[in-house]
Structures are given as C-alpha cells and as structure tokens.
Amino acid sequence: MDGAEETLRRDLANKQAAVDAQAVAVRDLKTGGAPKPDIEAAVEALKVLKIETESIAGKLQAVIAGTSSGSREAFRQAVVNTLERRLFYIPSFRIYGGVAGLYDYGPPGTDVKMNVLAFWRQHFVIEENMLAVDCPCVTPEVVLKASGHVDKFTDLMVKDEKTGTCYRADHLLKDFCKEKLEKDLTLSAEKASEMKHVLAVLDDLSAEELGAKLKEYGITSPDTKNPLSEPYPFNLMFQTSIGPSGLSPGYMRPETAQGIFVNFKDLYYYNGNKLPFAAAQIGQAFRNEISPRQGLLRVREFTLAEIEHFVDPDDKCHPKYGDVANLEFLMFPREEQLAGKQANKLCLGEAVSKGTVNNQTLAYFIGRVYLFLTHLGIDKERLRFRQHLPNEMAHYAADCWDAEIECSYGWIECVGIADRSAYDLRAHTEKSGIPLIAHEKFSEPREVEKLVITPVKKELGLTFKGKQKMVVEALEAMNEVEAMEMKAALESKGEVEFQVCTLGKSVTITKSMVSISKEKKKEYQRVFTPSVIEPSFGIGRIIYCLFEHCFYTRASKDGDEQLNVFQFPPLVAPIKCSVFPLVQNHEYEQVAKQISKSLAAIGISHKIDITGTSIGKRYARTDELGVPFAITVDSTTSVTIRERDSKDQIRVSIDEVASVVKEVTDGQSTWGDVKWRYPTHSSTSIVESI
C-alpha cells in the first residue's frame, strides 16, 4: 500500500480510538458529579480530538481521491459521449433495445479499426514475412475438444440463489475491494493492505479461494443482496450445430489460433519445411461473457489479430533480437507483483539475460508489440508488460506476458504474448492422428543408442485376446527407465506384473511376450514438435485505450466552451484531411472540389464541407473526429493547410497541396519537416472563434 495512505489510515484509527476513550471519560466525569471546570476541560479536549480526526479523514480522502475512480469516470464520460455522438461506435441492434456486449463500429470507428489493422499487417505480417491465413469462425467440436476449450475455457460464475442472476465471481470480489478501498475511511491499514493484495493476485485465485473470500467479506448479490452460490465454471463458448441433422456439434471460435495449428503441416511445407516461421490471422472471436461491461473492453464478439510463431524448442534465439534488445519500458515481473511493488522501467535485453523473460523470441515479440502500440499513439507511460502469476499461466506454458494499457477502467490486458511450448501441436497430433512435427536434417549422420520395444503380438494375442491392443500400446509407451526395469525383471524372474491404465488393472507379462533392447542406430535427422510463441491482440481493446489516450479538451477562442479533440496520429486518423472553402463562393467551391478529386486519386480519405458554417465551427467538428489536417480554400491559386494540435497553418499552391498532405499522412515527413518548406500563414484571416 502507498506509504502516505497507510500512515493516514493508522493515524485515523488511533485518533478515533482516542475520541472514543475521551467520550467515555467525559461521560464518567458527568455521571461521577465531577467539578464543572474538569468537565469543561474534558469536553474541550474531546472537541480538539474530533477536529483532528476530521482533519486526518480529510487528508486520507484526498490521498484516496488522487487514485480513485471519480475523476477518471468524469474523463471517461467525456470520451464516451464524444465517441457515441460522433458514431465511432453504436450499441448493436439499438432500435430493438440492444444486446449487452455487442457493438457496431460507425463510420469513423470503422476507419480507425481498418487503419489499426492495416498497420498491424504492415508491422507484423509484412515486416516479419509471416504467412497470412483466413479460417472459418464455425469450428467443429473435435478441434476445440483437442485444444482443451470444450473442457476448460471457463470463467468462474456465481448465481443469486433466489433470482438466478449470474455474476462473474472475480468481478464481484474486485468491485467490493475497490469500493472499500476508495470509500471506507474506517478500513484499518492491515485490511486495506490485504485487499490491495487480493486485487494484485485476483487472476491467480482458485474457485475455492475465490469462494472463501466472497464468504469472508460477506459479499452478496449486487442487485438484490441475496446470498450467492459457490463459484463454479461456466464455458464461454457459443455452441452451435453444423448442418441440418443436429448431429455435428460445433462452436463459434473463441480465438483464431486453432485455425493456424490445424493447418501447421501444410504451412510448414509451404515454408519449405523450414523453421522458424510465423502464421498470422485477423478475424472475429466469440465469447459468451458472463457479465459484459466496460463498453468495448469486454464484449461477446470481437476482432482478434493473432500470430503463431513456430520455433525449435532447443533454439529460441531470434535473428532480429538485437533490434529490440536496447528498448526500455515498464515491465512488471511476477516477483514484483507478489511483493506488492510497482512496474519498473527495465531494459528488455537485461530482462532476458537475467532470465526474467524466458527467451529471445518471446522478448523479440514483446519489443515489437511495444513498438506497435506506441507507434499507434498509445502513451508509453501508461503501457506496461505484466508477467503472468504462476496459477494464471497454463501449466504447459514456458512464460507469458500481457501488454496492459492504463485507461479510466484501470490497467487492461490488450495483448497476450505467450510461449505455449509444444502443447497445441501435440494436442492436435494426438487427436487427429496427423503428426504435426518438424525435422532438422543433420549435415553428418549421428550415431545414437535407441530403445527398441518389440511386443510379440502372437504371444500377447493368445493370452489377452480382445485386450491385446491395449497391452501392446502400453508396452510401447514405456519410457527408457520403465523398459529397462522390465527387461531386468524378465531376465531375472521370467515374468513381471505390468499396469495397463486403459484396462484399469495390471497383467502378467512373460519373457516370450516382449523383447526389449538398446540398439545403435544412425540418425540423419531430428524429429520434434515445434514450440509456439503466440502474440494475441484484442483489437477493440487497443482501439478503446487509444481513444482515451488521444482525447483532450481545449477552450474555444472566446473561452466559453470546452472543445473535444482526438489527437490521433495521421496513421490512425479516420479521415486524414478536410477541405473547406473559407466563404461560400462558386470559385472557391470549384477549387475545393478539384482538391478533393486529387486527394481521392492518391487514396487520401478526406471530407469536403461546403456548408456556410463558420470556419471555427468546421474546425471544431473535424477536431472532434481527430482529422489531423484541414485545407482551407481562400484563393484560387493557393490554400492553407492547418495542423490540428498546434493549429499552425502553412500556405501551399493548389497544385502541390494533395502531395503535401500525402507526405505528412503517409509518414514520409512530419508536420515539423514541411512547415519549414512553406510560408507560415497567419491565422488572422481565418478566424477560429465559434
């Protein structure tokens, strides 16, 4: 807990105890018939103590308010109002009352999303030579059974025991702790510290631990205050059936990754049977969230952009690791989280050499994700990479980090970057029977000693009849230690008891039923299941955080109004440029239309506005959409270009204007670069006041 907050909570508890003791003293003096001056002195002391208590309570309130959600909520409201009013997004099916967790992107939102996805393609697929794929959303059950989603893709849910309303168990605990910490000034320093710890390890709690905490804190149904059930798992996948018979169960995919894994064999071949390589996919994912909330952050259908980078498990070096090793940014290793510390700026290369990040390839992607997000306009001071806590990470994973972005809702996981080892390919190999493996050809053949187990099927068949297959499989599945122990036992005693799991009992194996030996063999290649490193991007979450990081307000010229601005970098801006004639006049309109044509011809999205509204109002409208440049036609030979944030203007000839805008929106030049090449235009002729 923050030191100041802890001290104030302790001081407040001590002062309150002193007030209570003094109140008792006053009462005793009064009932004991003490002299008047003594009573008056005691009452005065009580008053002073009460004033001091109030003063400490006020200070504590101020410290909490500095970190509380009140001001953040007001900021969020301003952002969300602008986003909804300008149709960045719209609650889906609104005319029918809407559906929780489903949103449409409106015109500017769709453009922002397209721009983010185009940059993702450029930054990852093109610059890293990835193989793009596009797989169906409807997925047969067998695929998601193999991946573990049918059995384990769950969140812990609790039900109102009387009304049956469902809640996410961890959300109730989180909300309770946050509210207590923000509003309950009587909370002891110890309890406050405990609740902060609960918040830090929330993702790590088991069903039993969550249930115990809900009980301990007396948490009830938020809407009715009825008791809650124990937490139990709820599968988040939307089930469907494929075809009319109803016999072929399927699910809407909860992630795009499985489409890549099941195609591994063909993709590996396409890549010339060489590792490493990465496949990438952008597509819709579906999760039947228990309680969707926080607008675009937790929805039931969303766009995922995923990369599966396949790599040799014995060599996770990355050839371009050097490009990112010197980057420094906020990292939050698990030890720091468990110790209740804050994220710290670390050098990525040092984090790898100290073993904090498991391997170079994982670190390479962490670095590339950092560059991707900051280039989009995410504030690097509000971006951190948090390592998964031990229970949060799947048992097979080697290491996982989430890129978390801070917004008015707190720190939000926007990208998961996980080294999933060989789990996925092994799981699909086992279920499909198709080996999803890679080969490393040796330049020189290598001599190796190999264990050879040869079940004698004729003998086994005579003894075990219909169960022979299971005994054979169990014998062949023995590892080296088990096999050598059996060999020794068979040689000394002639028979041995052998547990066959699939039969659920042990059987007697005799010497004639199996031969076990070690043979020297020449190997020409190594066969292995590749590991996979998976960066998985929740595009909607990134976009929402970007909206918040880019939003600010500034006073109108006459200071009587606050104007909203989205300072999107040109790369992200939904519309790159607006074109306005300064006044309504046929000649200027013709020039504006001619400029609009040249902009369209070179692919610059723009908005032409020939209404007679004041120029200041027109600027304000486009600032609210985050349009970075505005061309104002105030002559038939040259025009002005105004930059949104500085409001600086330059004068450019009509023939050049489209190419200048292209230069600054494509990122070939910055506004600072072009500003020096053209005369500055004083804004006195173009009045921005509205």
- Sign of the Cα pseudo-torsion (10, 13, 19, 25, in order): negative
Work out how close the CB of 534 gets to ligand AMP at its nearest, in angstroms, rounded to a whole number: 9
CA distances from residue 79 to 82, 88, 112, 539, 618 in whole angstroms, order as listed: 5, 11, 16, 18, 20
Task: Select the span of 140-148, 295-303, 327-335, 668-676 touching ligand AMP (CB under 6 A).
Answer: 295-303
Please report, in angstroms and rounded to a whole number, the separation of the first and last CA atoms in the chain.
48
Give yes or no for residue 415 binding ligand AMP (CB under 6 A).
yes
Q: Are 113 and 105 in contact (CB under 8 A)?
A: yes
Work out how close the CB of 294 gets to ligand AMP at its nearest, in angstroms, rounded to a whole number: 9
Q: Are 414 and 538 in contact (CB under 8 A)?
A: yes
Give the x/- contact pattern for ligand AMP in 597-626, rule: CB under 6 A: ------------------------------
User: Which amino acid makes up residue 202?
Assistant: L
Residue from 89, 251, 261, 302 binding ligand AMP (CB under 6 A): 302
Q: Which residue is nearest to ligand AMP (CB)?
A: 538
Work out how close the CB of 201 gets to ligand AMP at its nearest, in angstroms, rounded to a whole number: 18
Give yes or no for residue 211 binding ligand AMP (CB under 6 A).
no
Residue from 113, 159, 298, 606 binding ligand AMP (CB under 6 A): 298
User: Which amino acid makes up residue 53?
Assistant: T
Distance from C-alpha of 177 to C-alpha of 185, rounded to nearest angstrom = 13
Q: Which is nearer to ligand AMP, 299 or 631 (CB)?
A: 299
Residue from 276, 530, 538, 626 binding ligand AMP (CB under 6 A): 538
Work out how close the CB of 117 gets to ligand AMP at its nearest, in angstroms, rounded to a whole number: 14
Measuring CA to CA, which residue among 308, 281, 264, 262 is closest to residue 143?
262
Residue from 211, 276, 333, 416 binding ligand AMP (CB under 6 A): 416
Q: Are 279 and 394 in contact (CB under 8 A)?
A: no
Q: Which is nearer to ligand AMP, 60 or 236 (CB)?
A: 236
Task: Select the span of 20-28, 367-375, 407-415, 466-474 touching ligand AMP (CB under 6 A).
Answer: 407-415
Q: Which is nearer to ligand AMP, 20 or 151 (CB)?
A: 151
Per CB under 6 A, contacts with ligand AMP among 264-293 are: 287, 289
User: Which amino acid makes up residue 461?
Assistant: G
Helix count and strand count (H, E) for the chain: 23, 28
Give yes or no for residue 406 binding ligand AMP (CB under 6 A).
no
Give yes or no for residue 540 binding ligand AMP (CB under 6 A).
yes
- Look up residue 362 and give its two tokens: 């994982």
Task: Select the span of 87-95, 226-234, 477-485, 537-545 touching ligand AMP (CB under 6 A).
Answer: 537-545
Give the CB-side neighbour count of residue 371, counting CA atoms within 13 A: 18
Give yes or no for residue 109 binding ligand AMP (CB under 6 A).
no
Helices (H), 320-432: 334-338, 348-353, 360-376, 423-432
Work out how close the CB of 530 gets to ligand AMP at its nearest, in angstroms, rounded to a whole number: 20
User: Which amino acid makes up residue 78?
Assistant: A
Which residues fall within 8 angstroms of residue 495, CB to CB, at 6 or more apart?
508, 509, 510, 511
Distance from C-alpha of 255 to C-alpha of 258, rounded to nearest angstrom = 7
Q: Which helix (H) or strand (E) holds 225?
A: none
Per CB under 6 A, contacts with ligand AMP among 497-536 are: 536
Q: Are 321 and 360 in contact (CB under 8 A)?
A: yes
Residue that is written with structure tokens 């410290």 in the block: 63
Residue from 171, 318, 420, 541 binding ligand AMP (CB under 6 A): 541
Task: Select the span of 154-162, 319-327, 409-417, 558-566 touching ligand AMP (CB under 6 A).
Answer: 409-417
Give yes or no for residue 413 binding ligand AMP (CB under 6 A).
yes
Residue from 8, 237, 304, 366 binding ligand AMP (CB under 6 A): 304
Residues forming contacts to ligand AMP in the complex (CB under 6 A) are 255, 287, 289, 298-299, 302, 304, 413-416, 536, 538, 540-541
